[in-house]
């Protein structure tokens, strides 16, 4: 029996999942740090810098506070030769520059919660038909009678948007990029890098070019351009925090209901401490859907599959984390698969206790996947990516403002989900972020041959999600009792969708942080965890068995303890699922090349230049077996999208 046989691969995946569940899951029961020893208040890499050979070097750090700091803290910073660079009042965070050897003294102050470096972010790099968006969007001449995102604002945190591109006009030639802000310090809001324009057009580009061949998911949505990545695609965490602070302050003014983050930083610190994750949680609790890319580090430089490379803020449980699927250029979904490069879970961020022991988060991520391989969408004029890689121009048009380019990655899959969230909110404005996550997972299509650490609940199905969203009651509130009817009808939606002649069954389940829940009550009965201020797993009590507490999760929901989506079926607690406590001995090699040893995956805590180069390579290269069909633009606007 060869190492690549289905049987060996299946057993290997079970061993990997058993290892992860046995080693990590039992001690993760609440949001509090459960292990002995006081949790460290400094990120591990920052602590090393404070005691390293360059301890006197100045570092830029992000300080999170338990309460608003007073003048005494400002004086302490000044006394230690530091300076405050930025203050984010809504997030209760400051960015300061200070000698590395002064960080521990600042962390010792009672008002300080956690200190981490101002790390760098990088951009990760036929869709409406295959995603199901076309099914719910009917047209009548030039007037759309279906859903197109009208009135909803999507904030695009990226490298900028080329607002001169035709893709961003409405049907009356008005600009739909309604806000432009720069947080990079470069003093510009266009897109010299080229990533943000492509991302924005996937979420909300119109159908004017090439007879609507490259229409975005929500083609009449309002776009908010928040530039956090510079001219070469790099940026700092502080720029992202600044943009998220701005969203909190201005979300009502522009009806920002969705934030798209097709970018990521290395997920070193636990989501409980990571500043971007904390900011994302704040936004979600305020009712804003935050969609984050999983990352493009699913294989190492030798082409071997690796687990555990979900980036921040994709490691945040309240975010909708999206991986990249490959549609092979067809509208039908029978041949869809995972891309090789899409980052896999579990999350490997963690925290260090007072004894120096690291505890990993190990969340099941991504939540869902969406088309992300070789997508053709808007090309910013004279952008860096095409200048360095001329083959990325798709040959659609020679005219600036109508050019289109290829890109790949979870960066491209993320705005598919962001556009889908906008459509759900247009269909039912009362939906909360948790409800939107639940609907997208419940209606997703499990892809055959891939486990949950690769695809989450499955591939996005906009038709099914919108059909279910339209049935959800609009009078639900935080005080609604668990088990109350969720829908306006006694007959639940049929859990199947047909796209391009192919009918598939929904996953009919949702992912919690460490488990997978199934049951018709997820869609027919109100679950208080769908409200604001909760995580999707808050109703789960982990003890000798996995149960709901009856208050936050109705008793008809079944929670499984090690579920994997593989050959198109959802496995329960049968004989194929190994129980908690089963360990894999050191040196066991999973057949696809992943080595499991000492509880550490090969990708653990590694995010050097090679990983950055690999992520960028996925953005420009992609998997070679799939591409959208090129339709040359005639130069005449199509308004019937």
Contact 516, 560 (CB under 8 A): yes
Burial profile 197-222: b = 16 or more Cβ within 10 angstroms, e = fewer: bbbbbbbbbbbbbbbbbbbbbbbbbb
Write the DSSP string, 464-517: HHHHHHTTB-S---TTPPTTSB-BSSSSPPPSEEEETTEEEE---EEE-SS-EE
> 561 an active-site residue?
no
The SS3 call for residue 9 is helix
Find all residues with CB under 8 Å of 262, minimum gap 6, and list them.
Answer: 123, 124, 158, 195, 199, 293, 410, 411, 412, 414, 415
Buried b (16+ CB within 10 A) or exposed e, 32-63: ebeeeeebbbbbbebbebbeeeeeeeebbbbb
Q: How far apart are the C-alpha atoms of 176 and 476, rounded to whole Å?
A: 32
Kind plus residue range of the DSSP H or E element containing 123:
strand 120-123
Active site residue 411: yes
- With contact defined as beta carbons under 8 Å apart, do 160 and 227 qualify? yes
Report the candidate in 224, 195, 619, 232 with the shortest Cα–Cα distance to residue 378. 195
**Cα–Cα–Cα angle for 105, 108, 110, rounded to 5 degrees:** 135
Give the angle 133-486-29 at the CA atoms, nearest 5°.
95
Among residues 148, 158, 162, 367, the one annotated as catalytic is 158
Q: What is the DSSP letter of 73?
A: H
Q: Which of 157, 195, 160 is nearest to 406 (CA)?
A: 195
Helix 410-427 × helix 195-204 angle, to 10°: 30
From the candidates 33, 126, 165, 195, give the one annotated as an active-site residue. 195
Query: Are the C-beta atoms of 41 and 114 separated by less than 8 Å?
Result: yes
CA–CA separation, 340 and 409 (whole Å)? 10
* Cα 512 to Cα 563: distance, rounded to the nearest angstrom: 11
The structure tokens 């943009």 sit at: 243
SS (H, E, C) 505-545: ECCCEEECCCCEEECCHHHHECCHHHCCCCCCCCCEEECCC
List Cβ neighbours of 119 (8 Å cut-off, separation of 6 or more): 236, 237, 265, 266, 268
Structure tokens, 616: 């960028």
68 in Cβ contact with 110 (< 8 Å): no
Coil, helix or strand for 600? strand
Catalytic residue among 43, 131, 318, 411: 411
Q: What 3-state DSSP class applies to 275?
A: helix
Give residues with Cβ within 8 angstroms of 83, minimum separation 6. 77, 96, 97, 98
Report the alpha-carbon distance of residue 439 to residue 559 in Å, rounded.
17
* Distance in angstroms between the alpha carbons of the first and the last residue of the chain: 52
Do 434 and 531 form a contact (C-beta atoms < 8 A)? yes
Q: Indicate which residues carry an active-site annotation.
A: 158, 195, 411
């Amino acid at each position: 029996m060869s190492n690549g046989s289905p049987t060996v691969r299946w057993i290997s995946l079970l061993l990997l999942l058993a290892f992860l569940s046995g080693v990590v899951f039992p001690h993760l029961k609440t949001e509090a740090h459960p292990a002995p020893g006081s949790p460290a208040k400094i990120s591990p890499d920052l602590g090393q810098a404070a005691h390293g050979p360059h301890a006197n070097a100045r570092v830029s750090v992000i300080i999170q506070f338990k309460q608003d700091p007073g003048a005494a803290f400002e004086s302490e910073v000044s006394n230690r030769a530091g300076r405050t660079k930025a203050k984010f009042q809504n997030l209760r965070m400051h960015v300061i520059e200070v000698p590395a050897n002064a960080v521990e003294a600042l962390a010792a102050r009672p008002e300080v919660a956690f200190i981490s470096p101002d790390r760098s972010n990088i951009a990760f790099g036929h869709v409406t038909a295959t995603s199901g968006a076309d099914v719910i969007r009917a047209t009548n001449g030039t007037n759309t009678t279906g859903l197109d995102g009208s009135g909803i604002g999507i904030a695009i945190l990226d490298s900028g948007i080329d607002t001169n591109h035709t893709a961003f006009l409405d049907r009356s030639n008005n600009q739909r990029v309604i806000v432009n802000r720069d947080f990079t310090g470069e003093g510009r809001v266009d897109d010299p890098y080229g990533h943000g324009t492509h991302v924005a057009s996937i979420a909300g580009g119109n159908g004017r070019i090439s007879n609507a061949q490259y229409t975005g998911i929500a083609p009449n949505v309002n776009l908010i351009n928040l530039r956090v990545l510079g001219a070469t695609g790099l940026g700092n965490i502080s720029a992202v925090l600044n943009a998220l602070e701005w969203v909190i302050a201005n979300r009502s003014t522009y009806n920002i209901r969705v934030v798209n983050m097709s970018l990521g930083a290395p997920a070193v610190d636990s989501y409980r401490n990571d500043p971007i994750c904390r900011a994302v949680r704040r936004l979600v609790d305020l009712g804003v859907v935050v969609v984050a890319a999983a990352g493009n580090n699913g294989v190492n430089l030798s082409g071997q599959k690796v687990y555990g490379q979900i980036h921040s803020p994709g490691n945040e449980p309240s975010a909708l984390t999206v991986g990249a699927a490959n549609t092979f250029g067809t509208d039908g979904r029978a041949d869809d698969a995972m891309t090789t490069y899409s980052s896999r879970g579990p999350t490997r961020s963690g925290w260090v206790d007072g004894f120096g022991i690291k505890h990993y988060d190990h969340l099941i991520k991504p939540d869902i996947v969406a088309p992300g391989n070789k997508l053709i969408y808007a090309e910013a004029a004279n952008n860096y990516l095409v200048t360095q890689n001329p083959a990325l121009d798709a040959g659609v048009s020679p005219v600036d403002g109508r050019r289109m380019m290829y890109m790949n990655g979870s960066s491209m899959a993320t705005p598919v989900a962001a556009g889908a969230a906008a459509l759900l909110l247009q269909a039912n404005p009362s939906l909360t972020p948790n409800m939107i996550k639940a609907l997208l997972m419940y209606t997703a299509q499990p892809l055959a041959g891939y486990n949950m650490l690769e695809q989450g609940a499955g591939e996005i199905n906009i038709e099914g999600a919108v059909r279910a969203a339209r049935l959800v009651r609009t009078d639900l509130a935080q005080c609604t009792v668990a088990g109350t009817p969720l829908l306006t009808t006694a007959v639940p939606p049929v859990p199947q969708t047909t796209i391009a002649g192919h009918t598939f069954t929904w996953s009919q389940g949702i992912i919690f942080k460490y488990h997978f829940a199934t049951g018709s009550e997820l869609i027919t009965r109100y679950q208080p965890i769908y409200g604001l201020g909760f995580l999707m797993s808050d109703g789960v009590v982990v003890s000798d068995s996995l149960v709901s507490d009856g208050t936050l999760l109705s008793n008809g929901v079944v929670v499984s303890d090690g579920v994997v989506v593989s050959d198109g079926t959802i496995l329960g607690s049968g004989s194929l699922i190994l129980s908690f406590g089963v360990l894999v001995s050191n040196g066991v090699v999973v057949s696809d090349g992943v080595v499991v040893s000492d509880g550490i995956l090969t990708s653990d805590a590694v995010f050097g230049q090679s990983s950055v180069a690999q992520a960028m390579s996925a953005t420009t290269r992609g998997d070679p077996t799939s591409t959208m069909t090129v339709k040359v633009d005639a130069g005449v606007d199509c308004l019937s999208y």
